[in-house]
Amino acid sequence: MSTNTAVRTKKSDEDKKLAFKKALSTAIPYLGLLILIVLFQILTGNFLTASNLEAIFDQGFTLLIASMAGVFVMATGNLDFSLGANAGFCCVCATLAATYIHPIASIPVAIIVGLIVGMVNGFAQTVLRLPSFIACLCMMFILTAATQSLITGSSIMMPVSMMFWETFARKLIFGIIYMAVMIVMFKYTRVGKELKTLGVSPEAARQSGVNVKKRIFLAYAITGLAAGIAGFWFMLRTGGAATTTGQTTTSDVIIAVVFGGMSVSGGASSKISAAILGTLIVTVLNNGMVMAGFGGDPQQLVKGLLFLLVIAVSTKRDPNVIIK
């Protein structure tokens, strides 16, 4: 066998192995979701009932909103640690606006507050040149303190007249529109492509003509906007706001996106579908464990172990540059 033939054969074998690994990596999240559904149906006997499927949709709705926006920041190789605190703070602002101004005012107030917070995060990183980890962590502390200051007790209630706003039909229609917008923006426009390029190499992105500061600022603005929307739906679902609202959202978003098959390091492998699939996995896991009789601590333990396992398998880059 000639040298050229041997080289071509070796390259062909390597290509087949890479294709197999890619296919396996894509299939694992779907397989994991299927296993969870079958397992919880066996354990509970009524997991796939219409009422429980609606409950799963209701429980995962706000997480889906936050996760799909979180992909925009994670694609750049960064994480928005203030996402959950931002959603909680927006929930408080929306509740106060509905109570003291007008119920309709809660919508723009939540969205504007979330957007401003996201823009401040983007400004801190692009103009003040603060590492995203530091900037977002400080913002998280500020928003947590602000939330606790605005809520004198443990919670505040929205006007009773707003209870009818939260219906399955409204959430379904909004969810479809929201997903369509986010998918088109990330997958079919320059925004998503350039954000993924940033995750691979900011310098390479800059040399290829990408306005790095503008794109990073936009990513955080999108995440902040989504936090405002999530905060509004938090208010409708719980009937108000509490000091603990949004407390686990940030971690749930990261876990969901990673479970959905996206590397926490971002880059070229970033995909918006990971947020949708990951949200389903996390919500099914939470719902199924509750129905099976497991409390909050076992849930966190299982999610933590699974998260470590997925991170160990999916992350190949230097752990020192996972978060920039």
pLDDT in tens, 96-110: 999 999 999 999 999
Q: Is pLDDT of 310 > 90?
A: no
In percent, how much of the chain has pLDDT > 70?
Answer: 87
What is the secondary structure of 85-141 as a DSSP string? HHHHHHHHHHHHHHHHT-GGGHHHHHHHHHHHHHHHHHHHHHTS---HHHHHHHHHH
Q: How far apart are CA 102 and CA 100, in angstroms?
A: 6
**Cα 56 to chain centroid, rounded:** 17
pLDDT of residue 166: 87
What is the secondary structure of 272-305 as a DSSP string? THHHHHHHHHHHHHHHHHHHTT--HHHHHHHHHH
pLDDT of residue 320: 44
Q: Is pLDDT of 31 > 60?
A: yes
Lowest mean pLDDT among 74-78, 90-94, 217-221, 301-305: 301-305
Lowest mean pLDDT among 22-26, 131-135, 246-250: 22-26
Question: Residue range 274-281: average pLDDT?
Answer: 93
**Confidence grade of residue 140 (pLDDT, cut at 50, 70, 90):** very high
Q: At what angle do helices 190-200 and 50-74 cross, to 10 degrees?
A: 60
pLDDT of residue 4: 59
222 near 71, Cβ under 8 Å? no
Lowest mean pLDDT among 15-19, 60-64, 86-90, 111-115: 15-19
86 near 227, Cβ under 8 Å? yes
**Cα 67 to chain centroid, rounded:** 2
Q: What's the pTM value of the predicted model, to 2 decimals?
A: 0.88
Q: Which domains does the chain have, with CATH numbers?
A: 49-321 (1.10.3470)
- For all residues of the chain together, what is the average pLDDT? 87
The closest of 207, 315, 324, 195 to 267, measured between CA atoms, is: 195
Lowest mean pLDDT among 20-24, 271-275, 312-316: 312-316
Phi, psi at residue 272, to the nearest 5°? -70, -25
Two tokens at 178? 């929201």
The pLDDT tens digits for 163-187 are 888 899 999 999 999 999 999 999 9
Q: How many helices (H) and strands (E) does the chain have?
A: 12, 2
Greater model confidence, 232 or 205: 232
Two tokens at 132? 């995203």
Q: How far apart are CA 250 and CA 177, in angstroms?
A: 23
Q: How far apart are CA 81 and CA 72, in angstroms?
A: 14
65 near 228, Cβ under 8 Å? no
> What's the angle, vertex CA 224, arms to CA 92 and CA 91, rounded to 5?
15
Q: Is pLDDT of 295 > 80?
A: no
Greater model confidence, 308 or 70: 70
33 near 60, Cβ under 8 Å? no
The pLDDT tens digits for 252-273 are 999 899 888 888 888 888 899 9
Q: Is pLDDT of 307 > 90?
A: no
**Cα 113 to chain centroid, rounded:** 19
Question: Residue range 147-160: average pLDDT?
Answer: 89
77 near 265, Cβ under 8 Å? yes
Ranked by mean pLDDT, the top range of 79-88, 205-214, 298-307 is 79-88
